[in-house]
Amino acid sequence: MASITLSDVRKVYPGGVEAVRGVSLDIADGEMVVLVGPSGCGKSTLLRMIAGLETISAGTVAIGGRVVNELEPAARDIAMVFQNYALYPHMSVRQNLAYGLKNRGTPAAEIARRIDAAAAILEIAPFLDRRPGQLSGGQRQRVAMGRAIVREPAAFLFDEPLSNLDAKLRVQMRVEIRRLQRSLATTSVYVTHDQLEAMTLADRLVVLNGGRIEQVGTPIELYEKP
């Protein structure tokens, strides 16, 4: 678990688009912050800079008090959950969950322990020997969550993870993600354009507009005040 501190973070894409124009934000240990705002406001760029998938043009990103600007994604101690699941189709669920840990040299017994724990939390134990193609959308999304959980990262980064699911499943999964995030108490940054999802999930909402923070507050502060 770790705090995340953004200090005057900026992104100028090659070609000159100023996607993020000076964002400063302190995210506390265990807190879930949801980034919302209209399409093109810079949510995804900001998340990708925290993840290390996009270079930072100016400012600093610190995770657990350590500036990570120059670190590769793998060295940042974060796990990302995507809408497209990013599962390997030719591997079983168990192999998908184990893959990244194996590459890091995690001992087999520890891998098994983490997979069992994640499978229990996510209720995917019955599907561990299936391939992703043999799962429903909701089950695949749980496996994608499982891949993040088994890493036991300092922080989770969610990039619109539910946007490919049908409406009913989206509601169910957002409740599950909230429950999971609260019980693991892992610092999380969650990007969505869905206001209801944002309100359900957030400890704190950050509304972006034109690459800048427009508003920050709890769901109650932002939506229920007269």
Query: Considering only CA atoms, which of 59, 78, 79 is closest in space to residue 69?
Result: 59
Identify the burial level of 181 via C-beta atoms within 10 angstroms of its C-beta, where 0-12 means exposed, 13-18 middle and 19 or more buried: buried
Q: Name the token pair of 45.
A: 């760029």
Could you tell me which stretch among 24-32, 35-43, 108-116, 168-176 binds ligand ADP (CB under 6 A)?
35-43
Residue 107 to residue 175: CA distance in whole angstroms: 33
| 148 near ligand ADP, judged by CB under 6 A | yes
Distances, alpha carbon 133 to alpha carbons 88, 92, 93, 166, 210, in Å: 10, 10, 10, 17, 39
> Is the CA virtual torsion 97, 65, 61, 206 positive or negative?
positive
| 30 near ligand ADP, judged by CB under 6 A | no
Residue 14 to residue 136: CA distance in whole angstroms: 39
Smallest distance, ligand ADP to C-beta of residue 226, A: 29
Residue 3 to residue 28: CA distance in whole angstroms: 5
Q: Which is nearer to ligand ADP, 39 or 183 (CB)?
A: 39
| The only residue of 140, 147, 170, 174 in contact with ligand ADP, by rule CB under 6 A | 147
Q: Is 12 left (phi over 0), alpha (psi -120 to 50) or beta?
A: beta
Smallest distance, ligand ADP to C-beta of residue 106, A: 10
Residue 203 to residue 199: CA distance in whole angstroms: 9
Residue 91 to residue 206: CA distance in whole angstroms: 37
Q: Which is nearer to ligand ADP, 37 or 132 (CB)?
A: 37
- Count residues near ligand ADP (CB under 6 A): 22
| The only residue of 22, 30, 40, 210 in contact with ligand ADP, by rule CB under 6 A | 40
Could you tell me which stretch among 15-23, 117-125, 134-142, 180-188 binds ligand ADP (CB under 6 A)?
15-23
Could you tell me which stretch among 1-9, 36-44, 126-134, 170-178 binds ligand ADP (CB under 6 A)?
36-44
Considering only residues 62 through 91, tell me which ones interact with ligand ADP, judged by CB under 6 A: 73-74, 78-80
Q: Which is nearer to ligand ADP, 82 or 226 (CB)?
A: 82
| 132 near ligand ADP, judged by CB under 6 A | no
- The footprint of ligand ADP (CB under 6 A) covers 13, 15, 17, 19, 37, 39-45, 73-74, 78-80, 99-100, 103, 147-148
